[in-house]
Chains A and B, each alone.
Chain A
Amino acid sequence: DGGITQSPKYLFRKEGQNVTLSCEQNLNHDAMYWYRQDPGQGLRLIYYSQIVNDFQKGDIAEGYSVSREKKESFPLTVTSAQKNPTAFYLCASGTGLDHNEQFFGPGTRLTVL
């Protein structure tokens, strides 16, 4: 059963802590993406990776870090430097080619206590 999985579904963090959100895909896609969704705003791109061991900053990368050690996995770390981390985080994957269709996971809701 092909798709994108994200874990956990809900995550609670104390201020000053780093947390890591998991994203795995078995679609054999080269490209993977992290977006953030806030109420009343469109999704915004945090980081993306077109190939293993390479990634690029999106529009709102400050306070976040990523790694891409395997094709299937693209974890996102929300660091203590992210000033307003409470949001819904969505991971996506795509072929990475010119007409790249992106497919999304179920999301992780992060709440900072």
Chain B
Amino acid sequence: KQEVTQIPAALSVPEGENLVLNCSFTDSAIYNLQWFRQDPGKGLTSLLLIQSSQREQTSGRLNASLDKSSGRSTLYIAASQPGDSATYLCAILTGGGNKLTFGTGTQLKVEL
């Protein structure tokens, strides 16, 4: 059974800092990995998707990496801004390409 862990559970940083969010998973037989952002009381916004054959994806100030052999992914956020404050969720696609298994998220606060 796939298990997904995100560390840290919460993070508070000053504006402008570069930061790394971590995601680990137990079963390397994955289709892809998605990083999402969730604002309080809202739905999920897809940030980046890494296919199982890829090692990283970039979008603006965000860079996500995938190392299947070690069961790890990182989300790198450059030059953080207060608008980046949200919960970041990592999800692994398994189960015949239909089942997303989620971590519990990292709650990020970027302070002025």
- The answer on a CB contact under 8 Å between A90 and B43 is yes
Q: Which residues of A contact B46 (CB under 8 A)?
A: 101-104
- The answer on a CB contact under 8 Å between B102 and A31 is no
Number of cross-chain contacts by CB at 8 Å: 70
Q: Which residues of A contact B32 (CB under 8 A)?
A: 99-101
From B34, B41, B103, residue with most partner A Cβ within 10 Å? B41
Q: Which residues of A contact B104 (CB under 8 A)?
A: 40-42
* Among listed A14-22, A63-71, A74-82, A105-113, interface-contacting one: A105-113
Which secondary structure dominates where chain B touches chain A? strand
- The answer on a CB contact under 8 Å between A99 and B98 is no
Give the distance to chain A from B111, nearest Cβ to Cβ, in Å.
Answer: 23
Q: Give the interface of A toward B (CB within 8 A).
A: 4, 6, 31, 33, 35, 40-45, 48, 50, 56, 58, 88, 90, 92, 96-107, 109
